[in-house]
């Protein structure tokens, strides 16, 4: 049985949250852990939107912060599925902060996450393939394959 593919655009998800004092350190910068939580949540939205099943986080590739967010900033996250493998998929997430007083927007960070779709018994289950349509989506699709090869090689290296 072949599962019909879905275009990337059907997985696109967006999440936004206002940075509050409880989200920040003593300098007023948003905590990295808070951003990581939002990245995981937004990646899961794209994964579940694509798979139409529960999806759990299996891996997070490196997350590098380029600029801090601050108390009062709007944190906006965008995600989409880059590639499906069989029971797993890679979702890409970008994070932008906006100073609501000035309108200045800054790219805060990006991350790639691997999710596994689960069936009714909590076991990994096949996911419909993703269909990249634009040149950017096709590039992300190719690069997701390269990242997967690297992740698998590193996992095998650690096992030894």
Structural domain boundaries enclosing 26: 6-159
CATH number assigned to the domain comprising residue 81: 3.10.129.10
**Could you tell me if residue 1 is inside a domain?**
no
Q: Give the chain's domain count.
A: 1
H or E stretch covering 4: none
Confidence of residue 156 (pLDDT cuts 50, 70, 90): confident
Beta bridge partners of 99: 73
Query: Using CA atoms in the order 129, 132, 136, 138, what is the torsion angle rounded to 10 degrees?
Result: 80
**Could you tell me if residue 70 is inside a domain?**
yes
Say how far residue 19 (Cα) sits from the centre of its chain.
Answer: 19
Q: What global pTM score does this model have?
A: 0.93
**Could you tell me if residue 154 is inside a domain?**
yes
pLDDT score, position 157: 81
pLDDT digits (tens, 9 = 90+) for 19-34: 999 999 999 999 999 9
Q: How far apart are CA 76 and CA 66, in angstroms?
A: 15
pLDDT digits (tens, 9 = 90+) for 60-117: 998 889 999 999 999 999 999 999 999 999 999 999 999 999 999 999 999 999 999 9
Q: How far apart are CA 26 and CA 38, in angstroms?
A: 20
H or E stretch covering 124: none
**Could you tell me if residue 117 is inside a domain?**
yes
pLDDT score, position 1: 58
pLDDT digits (tens, 9 = 90+) for 44-62: 999 999 999 999 999 999 8
**Could you tell me if residue 30 is inside a domain?**
yes
The encoded tokens of residue 69 equal 């967010």
Average pLDDT over residues 133-160: 91
Instruction: Say whether pLDDT at 130 is over 70.
Output: yes
pLDDT score, position 88: 97
């Amino acid at each position: 049985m072949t599962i019909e593919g879905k275009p990337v655009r059907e997985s696109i998800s967006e999440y936004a949250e206002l940075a509050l004092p409880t989200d920040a350190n003593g300098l007023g910068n948003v905590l990295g852990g808070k951003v990581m939580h939002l990245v995981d949540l937004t990646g899961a939205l794209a994964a579940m939107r694509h798979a139409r099943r529960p999806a759990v986080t299996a891996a997070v590739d490196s997350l590098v912060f380029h600029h801090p967010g601050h108390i009062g900033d709007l944190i906006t996250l965008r995600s989409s599925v880059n590639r499906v493998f069989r029971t797993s998929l890679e979702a890409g997430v970008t994070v932008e902060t906006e100073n609501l007083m000035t309108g200045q927007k800054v790219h805060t960070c990006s991350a790639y996450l691997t999710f596994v779709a689960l069936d009714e018994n909590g076991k990994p289950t096949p996911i419909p393939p993703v269909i990249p349509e634009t040149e950017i989506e096709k590039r992300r699709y190719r690069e997701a394959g390269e990242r997967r090869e690297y992740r698998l090689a590193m996992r095998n290296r650690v096992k030894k």
